[in-house]
Structure 1
Amino acid sequence: MINQKKSYYAVIFSSQRTDGDNGYGKMAKTMEELASKQKGFLGIESARDSELGITVSYWETLEDITSWKEHAAHKTAQDKGKREWYKNYKVRICKVEREYTIDS
């Protein structure tokens, strides 16, 4: 995971999908690969069941998040998501002050 000694930011994207893949899986993989190459990207975690999907991406600064939001390929994916892939979604941006882990 991240394990930063300083604070960082989390973008929490929760969504309900429309029926069918319609190219979503391929685009999601492409966006994850592209995001991982952006300045300030720290990592990503994602989970989805039949009703709800949650993806959390981690970034060094708010400026890095804004740059990713405005990236041309990401904007194209966002537009397609609004038109075809999502019934609804919500984005939350949070500052992470601390993190804890346990290994068993």
Structure 2
Amino acid sequence: MKPTTYYAVIFTSQRNEGDHGYSEMADRMDELARKQPGFIDAESVRDAAGSGITVSYWESLEAIRSWKQNEEHLVAQEKGRQAWYESYKVRICKVEREYSF
């Protein structure tokens, strides 16, 4: 069950051409993030032109900081800058309310 308020990390990106190990690493990062304390959920989409968005949800800013400093995640971040992304942007937001249909 999600807490009443929580945080969203919004990662938007433009991929470079070619996979270069990206798919395997993306699957590993999803698997690893889901095991992190404070992780709630994640959603991700990418279009045919390489534009994508991943939103991960966390219980606290501390949990987000811990994830950012995870050793395997640090390796993935560096590979992203070197080989996978033309550009990216990270936004961290506090979610104060949620509803759905």
Q: Normalised by the size of structure 2, how large is the TM-score?
A: 0.96
Name whichever of 46-55 and 62-71 sits farther off.
46-55
Alpha-carbon distance between aligned partners in 1 of 2:6 and 2:64, rounded to the nearest angstrom? 11
Alignment CA distance shift 1:5-1:67 (3 Å) = closer
Unaligned runs of at least 5 residues, structure 1: none
The 3 A distance-change label for structure 1 pair 61 and 19 is same
RMSD: 0.9
- Could you list the runs of 5+ residues in structure 2 that have no partner in the other structure? none
Higher alpha-carbon deviation: 43-52 or 16-25: 43-52
For residue 33 of structure 1, the aligned residue among 31, 34, 41 is 31
* Paired position in structure 2 for 1:49: 47
* Number of aligned residues: 100
Structure 1 vs Structure 2: percent identity of aligned residues?
Answer: 60
Normalised TM-score (structure 1): 0.93
Which residue in the other structure is 2:67 paired with? 68
SS for the counterpart of 1:100 is coil
